[in-house]
Amino acid sequence: MRQNSNDSNESRRDNLMVTLPVPIDSRKYLIGRIAFVDVLIASPFVLVTALFLYILFRLGLWNTYVAVFLCLPTIAVILAQLTKHPVRREISYIEHGVLWRFFFKRRQKEFFKRKGEIDMSDIYDSRKVLGLKSVYLDCYQTSKNLVRVFEVSSVNLSLANRSEKKATLDAFKVFLTSSDFYKHLQFCKIAQPINLDRHLENFRKIERHGEGNDVKAMLNRSYEKYMMDVGRNRNLVARKNYIILTQPIKNKDLDKALLEIDNKSAILSQKLSNLVLDQQSLTVKQLNSEELTLLLHTTLDYDSAVSVGRHIIRRASSYSDVSMGEDSAKKLIESLQRDLEYNIQ
């Protein structure tokens, strides 16, 4: 059995497949798949149906067809509640098949990234929905808080023994209990597209200093195109760890809130850097304004982030009504140059 499990994990690793962890089911079950919450939800319908049947029987209006008609809604609710999600058995059909679809159809699905001041009457402004005003001095500025994000390196405990794992967890426990602002911390693991911009930039520098060989030039162009395709592949991701620090803006004093979050950021960075887990220290990096913009765009629109990449930073800072990708911009420039040369001739 263990050998089959190892073979399955190796095949997933070879195919670049990631098995997502299923959330822990905290419900208490009575019998089989019948949970106490199922009984709690179905009980009012059963009691109301029994009350109506008793009233009809006392009034002498008892009829088999009427009784079956009154029992149909209760039977439907019980069956819908006992029919579980195919993967997560804590979710009933009423939740994922009825309520979720109902709220999905009523939910606003189209939002736009506006620029300038926020118009509170504009229901399509994504900043209003998120409560995010802007990126201000390496922070997300919301209506009530300043939010700062730190990228933290990973620690691999898969090869550590029991004592090393215990020491690592104890050190992390001490870190959590020694932080006065622990309630303002969040821990996130976000999958992002693989960024090969720096590798391509270094490769292009080497290519410019290379020999003038046509065959090598053709191979270099082929390799560059291959690396760009790899960077745009949405199936290849890098999972990064983030610690998010929130500072409330009290009495609308933005300068004081910024000073406090700077002090807390320095303390947090120092504590994380001094934290030794599994005989290795953590690397902490505070995201700047450009990296925060890129992270926000990645979490909101992953597919567009794969195709656009870091060009979204220029789009976010541009106040032009028209924005386009790199390939579209090159084609537009070439078309304008051809028109210009034709008109000059």
pLDDT for 26 equals: 64
CB atoms within 10 A of CB 319: 6
Share the mean pLDDT of the chain: 76
Alpha-helical regions (H) of 94-231: 100-106, 126-130, 162-177, 197-208, 214-231
Give the pLDDT confidence of 30-55 residue by residue, as tens digits. Answer: 777 777 888 888 888 899 988 988 88
CA distance 342 to 345: 5
Domains along the chain with CATH numbers: 2-106 (no CATH), 129-194+237-289 (3.30.70)
pLDDT for 245 equals: 92
% of the chain beyond a pLDDT of 90: 6
Give the pLDDT confidence of 259-287 residue by residue, as tens digits. Answer: 999 999 998 888 888 776 656 778 889 99
Instruction: Specify the DSSP element, H or E, that contains 145.
Output: strand 145-152
pLDDT for 313 equals: 52
Q: Which two tokens stand for residue 204?
A: 């292009």
**Single pTM value for the model:** 0.55
pLDDT exceeds cutoff 90 at 180 = no
pLDDT for 242 equals: 92
pLDDT for 244 equals: 92
**Do the Cβ atoms of 47 and 53 come closer than 8 Å?**
no
**Do the Cβ atoms of 324 and 332 come closer than 8 Å?**
yes
Q: What is the largest CA-CA distance in the chain?
A: 102
